[in-house]
Amino acid sequence: MNVFNQLSIWLSFQLSIIFLIGIPITLFVWSIKKRNKAVNKLLSIYWKISPLFFISLLLLIGKYNYALVITNISTLLMTISVWFWNDINDELKEYNLSYALTTTTKVWRWCLTFISLNFLIQSLRNLNCFSFVNSAACEIWLKPSSNLYTIIKNLFNFLFGANFTQPIAKFLGLFSLLIFTLGLIQWSIIKLPKNGRNSSFSENEGN
């Protein structure tokens, strides 16, 4: 059962590389090429939220006890960010299935939702890891970030001639989390009450 759990968590992180990074980049470039303002705006918003997921990976590398909480919050916020906007949702409904860009975007949104729910379900199966990811039982959550740690460590050493350690990863993760949180609070206080669920993607109509 532990082997199955470990494999499932490993697979979740592998899928996240595709659906949280690869496909969004492709859709973003595609929307620019097609000059589709709705999809472009949707992906622009997504990229403003997605850094929180990478912050959570830094915290996992740094073995911060509440890193798994941040991971689940990040996937939840990313999912909300692609479903939240009424004007974008209405615009996407106008396109039929033959328009590949919007159809792919719709499929991707559902895949992102599935990944978010899967992370949550997997986490709930290891409930104690929410508050103490350093325990032996939670080691399976730290292993997927080890490859990223190796890449960053080699890159850091190449660029700065210094070692990238787990305490540094933890510090950078916590500092980035603070900046992200302040930005999110600012948006919630200033922009959300003003615009509501309107993304204003059509304000710059002109192409």
pLDDT, tens only, 106-147: 999 999 999 899 888 888 888 888 888 888 878 888 877 777
Q: Over the chain, what is the mean pLDDT? A: 88
Does the residue 103 lie in any domain?
yes
Percent residues over pLDDT 70 in the chain: 95
Does the residue 205 lie in any domain?
no
Question: Tokens 């900046």 belong to which residue?
Answer: 179
Q: What is the pLDDT of residues 91-108, one digit of tens each?
A: 999 998 889 999 999 999
Whether the CB-CB separation of 95 and 103 falls below 8 Å is answered with yes
Does the residue 159 lie in any domain?
yes
Q: How many domains does the chain have?
A: 1
CB burial of 19-38 (b: ≥16 within 10 Å; e: otherwise) equals: bbeebbeebbebbeeeebbb
Task: Give CA–CA dist 164/30, Å, rounded.
Answer: 35
The pLDDT confidence band at residue 51, using thresholds 50, 70 and 90, is very high
The dihedrals phi and psi of 169, each to the nearest 5 degrees, come to -60, -45
Does the residue 124 lie in any domain?
yes
The pLDDT confidence band at residue 204, using thresholds 50, 70 and 90, is low
Question: Tokens 């990313």 belong to which residue?
Answer: 78
Which of helix, strand or coil describes residue 65? coil
Does the residue 203 lie in any domain?
no
Query: What would the mean pLDDT of 158-175 be, rounded to a whole number?
Result: 85
Whether the CB-CB separation of 55 and 176 falls below 8 Å is answered with yes
Does the residue 204 lie in any domain?
no
Q: State the residue range of the domain holding 84.
A: 2-195
Does the residue 92 lie in any domain?
yes
* 46, two tokens: 């997504």
Helix axes 37-49, 67-83, angle to 10 degrees: 170
pLDDT at 206 > cutoff 60: no
Does the residue 113 lie in any domain?
yes
